[in-house]
Amino acid sequence: MHLIPNTIKLMIAALVLLSWATPVYSKAVNRTYPVIRVVDGDTISILYHGKPEKIRLLNVDTPESVHPDASRNSVMGKKASDYTRRRLSGQSVSLEFENRKRGKYGRLLAYVILGGENYNLELVREGWSPYYTKYGNSDVYHEQFTTAQHRAKIGRVNIWNPANRDLYETQASRKQVAVAGGLHGNVKSKIFHNPACRYYQCKNCTRSFSSRNAAVRAGYAPCKICKP
């Protein structure tokens, strides 16, 4: 007579533990929200539950186009912004969320679903953004993002096309290269440093880059100490 209650308790405990271990993910529902403004390639504003909300698209990072420091904006950033404007202006979209619903600037962090398709993935597939993993891999779409980026690189689409290098570089990155004389990348850690960094001449820092964007395109991450 005591086996059934104990079994139920064990099942409840197992379900609780499983819920703690499983990443929080919110699948898009049928509800859609009108896009009221495209800020740039990876940020839009929608009417969300009756009020305007900015959406920062998860796992993408298009080149800058509206940064307050104009030297950080680029022609390719403008092109990425124009692409998102053509695709999303006047549309209604659904949202999917992962672990964090809002970022440090208060914006909603989400996958934007347009016509049943993940628009974030589209940006990577069309070469407007790398698969951006600075804050972690996608819990649900990691394989799709990886495949999309691989194909965009092979196809040399947009930011991956060497012919677009001058469009992708910014005034700030060109100035940095002119003053500093280039960046060094650690071929093992895949981290790059500027000349003022204590790790600039490290044993494995044998790869040189002409700019920050060139290093990022090659799959290297900026040093958290020198912040190139």
Residue 84 lies in a domain: yes
Q: Are residues 64 and 144 in the same domain?
A: yes
Q: Tally the domains of the chain.
A: 2
| Rounded Cα gap, residues 195 and 105, in angstroms | 31
Q: Are residues 180 and 145 in the same domain?
A: no
Q: Which amino acids are annotated catalytic?
A: 56, 64, 107
Q: Are residues 76 and 155 in the same domain?
A: yes
Q: Are residues 150 and 187 in the same domain?
A: no
Specify the pLDDT at position 162: 79
- Convert the pLDDT of each residue in 12-41 to its tens digit: 555 544 444 444 555 655 699 999 999 999
Between residues 126 and 227, which one has the greater pLDDT? 126
Residue 90's identity, in one-letter code, is G
pLDDT at 189 over 90: yes
Residue 212 lies in a domain: yes
Q: Are residues 142 and 210 in the same domain?
A: no
- Convert the pLDDT of each residue in 114-134 to its tens digit: 999 999 999 999 999 999 998
Q: Are residues 57 and 146 in the same domain?
A: yes
Residue 126 lies in a domain: yes
Q: Are residues 206 and 144 in the same domain?
A: no
Q: Are residues 199 and 156 in the same domain?
A: no
Q: What is the CA radius of gyration of the chain?
A: 21
Q: Are residues 74 and 147 in the same domain?
A: yes
Residue 166 lies in a domain: no
The answer to whether 159 and 130 are in contact (CB under 8 A) is yes
Residue 121: domain span = 33-160
Residue 15 lies in a domain: no
Specify the pLDDT at position 80: 94
- Mean pLDDT, all residues of the chain: 83
| Rounded Cα gap, residues 222 and 228, in angstroms | 6
| pTM of the full structure | 0.66
Q: Are residues 40 and 140 in the same domain?
A: yes
Q: Are residues 156 and 176 in the same domain?
A: no
What is the helix (H) or strand (E) element at residue 76, kind and residue range? helix 75-88
